[in-house]
Amino acid sequence: MTNYRIEKDSMGELQVPADALYGAQTQRAINNFPISGLTMPPAFIKTVALIKQTAAKVNSDLGVLDAKRGQAIIQAAEQIIQGQHAEQFPIDIFQTGSGTSTNMNVNEVLAHLASAISTEVVGANDHVNMGQSSNDVIPTAIHISAALECHRQLLPALTHLAETIETKAGTCQHYTKTGRTHLMDAMPMTLAQELGAWALQIRNAIARIQSTLPRIQKLAQGGTAVGTGINAHPEFAVKFAQTMSAATDMAFTPNDSFFESLSCQDAVVELSGQLKTIAVSLMKIANDLRWMNSGPLAGLGEIELTALQPGSSIMPGKVNPVIPEATAMVAAQVIGNDATITVAGQSGTFQLNVMLPVIAYNILQSIEIISQVSLALADTAIADFKVREDNLQQALTRNPILVTALNPIIGYEQAAKIAKLAYQQGRAIIDVAEEMTDIPRAELEKILEPKHLAEGGVN
């Protein structure tokens, strides 16, 4: 049986588990929101603790918080930043739209820990939350956590994926294959050219994220309740951003307008849109890999992905493209997350957005799963797939679309007749062209050489 203690807040008394580090406001949120079982991501909780630590440093330096309490809050926050006490943050993401419940959860845990450290009473509101409001803490935490995770996870993962594709492309320059448009045979190209397109998609994704981060790195902290900065020291916002920048080795600044940073989440909606674009790119790459790997007998069979696990509980020997499939599912999730963030971003009514927790949850999930699946896609699908050159050549030699190279010489209509006959008779295009034109075979071999055509047909 759980033992309880009595805690009270401005609304009265209630029971809290005796061993809980949190207090009454956290318990009210636990009671009010038994909705999903989904809680705020660890990266977000750690960032809120980092905000409290930074605020305590700044308030102590400004002389508005006594040094003993300030140091105790700093030490307590460090415990959370290092991953301790994770079980003390149980509040559902579907809570009050400002994230006040999560802000107070962190405040209460820190107040409990800091009181024990300092042997003095440290107040959740008066000391830990000094010069702050949930209305600027939570938007700030969204921005800082997203920026940190982009730098720590996302950009390195995307860079690794791009480099892996580029390295693989370098080994595939001599493989010529049938290009496809509308899933139908088209002009030849090299496998390196195909992979090069993927690599540029990822390089562009990196550039898009980098172009958005400067707006993410502008912070709401200092705006307090509605953007006026009530109850915060006049120098708090600037010193907070400077101290946070030093702690994270990132360039954070106060937002140009606190009214903008509290009332909307446009910068995060923009970042989510960039993540959605990455998801679209990953979906395209994953599906190309699945098609190229399809078979091994009845599909394209252009490449062979490394076998990672049995693919069927009933069909022995079946192996499936599990990493591209996982990648496609991540892409679908991120696209869905973006839809949620888009709707949530519209919920800035007057001076405050009131869907902040769900924005925080979804943006951090998108960053994390894109990062992790990019590494998996690079290392266990792209880096080591084998090229089935026999299948590439078999398709190339019978590809009637090669006749396109003869258009400037014999005209479109005559070329179409050659292509149709070659397809109907299952013959190589060069044999039919030799019969139906006056072009010498040696010249046809030069004109219709797939590698030559993959290079643009330049003489």
What CA–CA distances, in Å, run from 89 to 52, 77, 105, 194, 346? Answer: 15, 13, 7, 47, 27
Which stretches within 302-411 are classed as H helix?
A: 322-345, 356-377, 389-397, 407-410
Nearest to 143 by CA among 261, 282, 316: 261
**Residue 379 DSSP code:** I
Burial of 297 (0-12, 13-18, 19+ CB in 10 A): exposed
Give yes or no: 85 in active site: no
268: Cβ contacts below 8 Å, ≥ 6 apart: 142, 143, 146, 216, 341, 345, 359, 363
Q: What is the DSSP string of 162-227?
A: HHHHHHHHHT-TT-EEEEEETTEEEEEEEHHHHHHHHHHHHHHHHHHHHHHHHHHTEE-TT-TTTS
Active-site residue among 36, 211, 257, 312?
312
Instruction: Give CA–CA dist 20/4, Å, rounded.
Output: 9
Give yes or no: 312 in active site: yes
Other CB atoms within a 10 A radius of the CB of residue 313 amount to 7
Collapsing DSSP to helix, strand or coil, 12 comes out as strand
Active-site residue among 182, 272, 281, 452?
182
Instruction: Give CA–CA dist 19/23, Å, rounded.
Output: 11
Positive or negative: CA dihedral 171, 173, 177, 180: positive
Q: Which one-letter amino acid corresponds to residue 169?
A: A
Instruction: Give CA–CA dist 278/285, Å, rounded.
Output: 11
Task: Report whether the peptide linkage leading into residue 296 is cis, meaning its omega lies within 30 degrees of zero.
Answer: yes
Instruction: Give CA–CA dist 419/294, Å, rounded.
Output: 26
Angle between helices 42-61 and 134-149 (to 10 degrees): 120
Collapsing DSSP to helix, strand or coil, 85 comes out as coil
User: Which residues participate in catalysis according to the annotation?
Assistant: 182, 312
